[in-house]
Amino acid sequence: MLALALGGFGIGTTEFVTMGLLPDISQAMNVSEPTAGHAVSAYALGVVIGAPLIASLCARMPRKRLLVALMAAFTVGNIATVLAPSFVPLVLARFVSGLPHGAYFGVASLAAATLAPVGQRAKAVAAVMLGLSAANVVGVPAATWLGQHLGWRNAYVVVALIGVATVLALLRFVPELTGIRITDPRTEMGALRRPQVLLTLAVGAVGFGGMFAVYTYITTTLTDVAGMSLGLVPIVLMLFGLGMVAGNIVGGVLADRGSVLAERGSDRAIYLAMIAMVVILAGFVAAAHHPVSAAVGAFLIGASGAALAPGLQTRLMDVAADAQTLAAALNHAALNIANAAGAWLGGMVIAAGLGYTAPAVVGACLAVLGLTLFTVTVAVARRGRAHDPQGDIPAGT
C-alpha cells in the first residue's frame, strides 16, 4: 500500500506545484503569468485524455507491469519538464506528465482493493489516495519552496526522483496482482455503455467542482477578505491538505461501513460527504471574513472533498462489472474536469464583481447539483434492480 501511495504522492506533488511556481516559470520563460497557466491546463488535459486511452489500450497488460510502465512514463514526463528549453516544449512535457495520472490511480485502486482483506476495500483505496492528499501537506509546499529558492526546475527534479523511487518500490513490494482480471480494449470501453458508470462520473465532475471553485482563489480570499497576512497563507494551505488527509481516511472508513449498511456499496458514505460539502461551502461565505474561521473552513473544505473520493472510486469499481480499470481511471479524468470547471465558474463570479466569497456560493450550488444528481443515480440503480434483481450486482460482493 505504501508503494502504491508513493506514486500518488509524486503525482499529487507535480499536479499542484506548478500553480505555486507560475510566477517563476513565467519569468524564466519570458511569458505572462496567464500564459504560463497553460502549463497547468496542459497537465489536466493530459489526465483527461490519458485516463481512458491508456486504460483501454493497455487492458491486456499485466497490472503490475502496467503500474511500473505508468510511473516510468510519469518520470520521463517530469524529466522532460526539467530539460524543456522553451515554453512550448514545457507545455508538451506537462501534457505527457499528465497522461499516466488517471490510469495509475485507477489501476492502483484496483490493486489495493484486490489485496485488501474482506470488508476493507474502500480503506485500501483510501490508502492509495492518501498519497495524493499527503502531497498537499508536504510535497507541494516543499517542492514550491525549493523551486522558489533554487530554481523552478529543481522542483520537478524532486518529482522525477519520487517517480524513480516509486518504480523501485513497485517492483520490490507489489505482488503480480493475478487477482485482477485481464480484459481487452473492447471490454473496457464497455464501461461507457453503462448508465451507472456515466452517472457516477458526472457526480464527481459536478460535485468536486465546488471544492475547486474555492481552492483556486483561496490565497486572495484569505488576504483580502479574511485580512490574513500573506505569510500565514501557506499555513492555511497546509491545513487544507491536512483536511484532505483526514477526510480521505474518514471517507474510506465510511465507505466500508456503507458496504454493509447501504443498499449498494458506499452510497451512504457519498451522501454524507456531499451533504457535508454543501453545508461547509455555504458556511464559508460567512467564515471567510475572519482569519480563524477562514482557516477552520479551509480545513473542512479539504476534508469534505477528500471524504467523497474513496466512495466514488469504490462505487465506480462496483458498477463497472468487467470494465473496472477504465471506470476507475475515468474517475480522475472527471475530477480534473471538476478542477477546470470549478476554477472557471469561480473566476466568472469574481470577474462579475461579486467578490471573493462568491466562489463559495458557486461551490455550494455545484455541491447541491452533485447531490441531486447522485440521488437520481441511486434512484435509477434501484429501478434497474427492481426490474432485474440479478443483473446489477456489485463486483467483489
In the structure grid, which three cell numbers stand for residue 71, read together?
510511473
pLDDT at residue number 290: 94
In the structure grid, which three cell numbers stand for residue 253, read together?
472508513
pLDDT at residue number 57: 84
User: Looking at the domain assignment, is residue 394 inside a domain?
Assistant: no
- Number of helices (H) and strands (E), helices first, in the chain? 18, 0
Looking at the structure, tell me whether residues 218 and 235 fall in a common domain: yes
User: Looking at the domain assignment, is residue 392 inside a domain?
Assistant: no
Listed residues 155, 182, 209: the one ending a domain: 182
Q: What's at 148, amino acid-wise?
A: Q
110 within 8 A of 90, measured Cβ to Cβ: no
Three-class secondary structure of residue 397 per DSSP:
coil
Looking at the structure, tell me whether residues 308 and 361 fall in a common domain: yes
pLDDT at residue number 73: 96
Looking at the structure, tell me whether residues 246 and 347 fall in a common domain: yes
pLDDT at residue number 164: 97
The dihedrals phi and psi of 299, each to the nearest 5 degrees, come to -60, -45
Q: How far apart are CA 286 and CA 279, in angstroms?
A: 12
Q: Which domain range does residue 64 map to?
A: 1-182
In the structure grid, which three cell numbers stand for residue 59, read together?
487492458
Give the CA distances from residue 305 to residues 41, 219, 337, in Å, rounded to whole numbers and listed in that order: 21, 18, 15
Listed residues 160, 182, 204: the one ending a domain: 182
In the structure grid, which three cell numbers stand for residue 373, read together?
444528481
Looking at the structure, tell me whether residues 177 and 194 fall in a common domain: no
Looking at the structure, tell me whether residues 362 and 325 fall in a common domain: yes
Q: How far apart are CA 84 and CA 18, in angstroms?
A: 14
Q: How far apart are CA 301 and CA 240, in angstroms?
A: 7
Low-confidence spans in the chain with pLDDT less than 70: 33-34, 118, 180-181, 184, 258-265, 385-397
pLDDT at residue number 44: 83
Helix, strand, coil % (nearest 5) of the chain? 85, 0, 15
Give the CA distances from residue 169 to residues 67, 165, 173, in Å, rounded to whole numbers and listed in that order: 11, 6, 6
Instruction: Report the candidate in 306, 281, 311, 300 with the shortest Cα–Cα distance to residue 374.
Output: 311
23-67 pLDDT tens trace: 788 889 998 866 787 888 788 888 889 988 888 888 788 889 999
User: Looking at the domain assignment, is residue 276 inside a domain?
Assistant: yes
User: Looking at the domain assignment, is residue 149 inside a domain?
Assistant: yes
CATH code: domain of residue 250: 1.20.1250.20
The structure's pTM equals 0.77
Domains contained in the chain, number: 2
User: Looking at the domain assignment, is residue 119 inside a domain?
Assistant: yes
pLDDT at residue number 365: 95
- Cβ contacts of 341-346, under 8 Å, gap ≥ 24: 341/205, 341/206, 341/209, 341/212, 342/208, 342/209, 342/210, 342/211, 342/212, 342/213, 342/214, 342/215, 342/216, 342/366, 343/212, 343/213, 343/216, 345/209, 345/213, 346/212, 346/213, 346/214, 346/216, 346/217
Q: How far apart are CA 63 and CA 59, in angstroms?
A: 9
Looking at the structure, tell me whether residues 139 and 8 fall in a common domain: yes
CB atoms within 10 A of CB 157: 18
User: Looking at the domain assignment, is residue 395 inside a domain?
Assistant: no
Looking at the structure, tell me whether residues 160 and 66 fall in a common domain: yes
pLDDT at residue number 396: 37
Q: How far apart are CA 150 and CA 254, in angstroms?
A: 42
Kindly give, in sequence order, each residue whose CB lies less than 8 Å from that of residue 153, ignoring residues fewer than 6 positions away: 81, 82, 147
DSSP letter for 181, please: P
In the structure grid, which three cell numbers stand for residue 145, read together?
519552496
Instruction: Classify the C-alpha dihedral 168-123-101-362 as positive or negative.
Output: negative
